[in-house]
Homo-oligomer: A and B are copies of this chain.
Amino acid sequence: MTSAGVIGIDLGATNCRAGFFVGNEPPSLREEIPSVGQFPVEEGVSRLVDLVDSIRRQEGVGSVEALGIGSPGPIDPTRSVIREAPNMPAWHDVPLRDLLQDRLGLPVFLENDANLAVLGECRRGAGVGAESVLGLTLGTGVGGGFVQGGRLWTGANGMALEVGHIYVGGEGIRCACGALDCLELYCSAEGIKRWYTRRTGNTDPSSHRIFEAARKGEKAALEVVQGASLLLGRAIASLQKTLDPERILVSGGLSREWDLLVGPAAEEAKRGLFRGVAEHFDLRPAALGTDAGLYGAAELALSSVS
């Protein structure tokens, strides 16, 4: 038996993951190839075309109605162009939607991967049942996405929810974006490492090791972790007051440090909310892990063709 469905692709930094989705089910088929971002654009596009063709030929795969793709970096919303992407050095101003549409004869939809991860969580993860969801990803950097009524708000320039770059105060450090004391400078894996190094001169430890040291009571590690949590709490309060989402989902590597980082940040945020909002405040871990972007890519395709 074959069924009509859509293909979702998540262009990751190391791997490029794809799935065939029928309706609201988990992918009935998955494929993975090395990241296409390491190749020149033309070769990368050919590899994506081969990936889609290979899925189309599989047993059980019926007609493919659309393709949804998540890409790192900002996407120009009017032209569906990848402007630039970390770890994809050659991919500047790439009209990936049009390139793939021409080769595949399929409707193709392109979106930022952090945005799609939130959409994926809304479809099948921790966002199910909420009308509006703010997603925060605490990884190497800090990213975000906002879904309302099943639709992403990506901004006039495709640059909405750059929540890693809102002002949170701190030590007076200038960010590469041009602003002072952005959230990402203090509350990302990189930011925590650099903060700890500024304190101790120690350049070795990973952010995970710093959290371990804090749990054992090491003073500098504890101060950095508590500082990061305070600033994250401030950012969450400001975002709740700006967007007033029904639910906030936190994902990414640092979200595993819930006890020392996200939990205390949520308490700090709650203290800064109006009563009518604080009593409905709903912050929880995301549920889909690294699959969120893939589900989101499928959802983008599904919602665009239905």
Contact = CB atoms under 8 A, between A and B. Distances in A.
A277 interface: yes
Interface of A: 74, 83, 130-132, 148, 153-163, 165-169, 177-181, 234-235, 237-239, 241-246, 271-274, 276-278, 280
A162 B242 contact: yes
B131 A244 contact: no
A167 B237 CA distance: 8
Total copies of the chain: 2
A246 B166 CA distance: 18
Contacts of A244: 154-162
Given A156-B244, A157-B276, A160-B244, A271 B237 contact: no
Nearest to A162: B241
Given A156-B280, A167-B234, A243-B155, A274 B162 contact: yes
A274 B280 CA distance: 34
Given A156-B131, A163-B242, A272 B234 contact: no
A166 B168 CA distance: 10
Nearest to A276: B157
A271 to B, nearest CB: 5
A181 B235 CA distance: 13
B238 A167 contact: yes
Contacts of A278: 178
Contact of A153 (B148, B162, B167): B148
A147 to B, nearest CB: 12
Given A159-B276, A161-B242, A167-B237, 16 more contacts: A155-B245, A157-B244, A157-B277, A158-B244, A160-B242, A160-B244, A162-B241, A162-B244, A163-B241, A166-B241, A167-B235, A177-B274, A178-B274, A179-B237, A180-B234, A239-B242
Contacts of A167: 167-169, 234-235, 237-238, 272
A276 B242 contact: no
A71 B243 CA distance: 20
A177 B272 contact: yes
Nearest to A272: B179
Contacts of A177: 272-274
9 contacts: A148-B153, A155-B244, A156-B244, A162-B244, A167-B167, A167-B234, A169-B169, A169-B181, A242-B242
A272 B241 contact: no
Contacts of A234: 167, 179-180
Contacts of A131: 156
Contacts of A159: 241, 244, 274, 276-277
A179 B277 contact: no
A178 B141 CA distance: 28
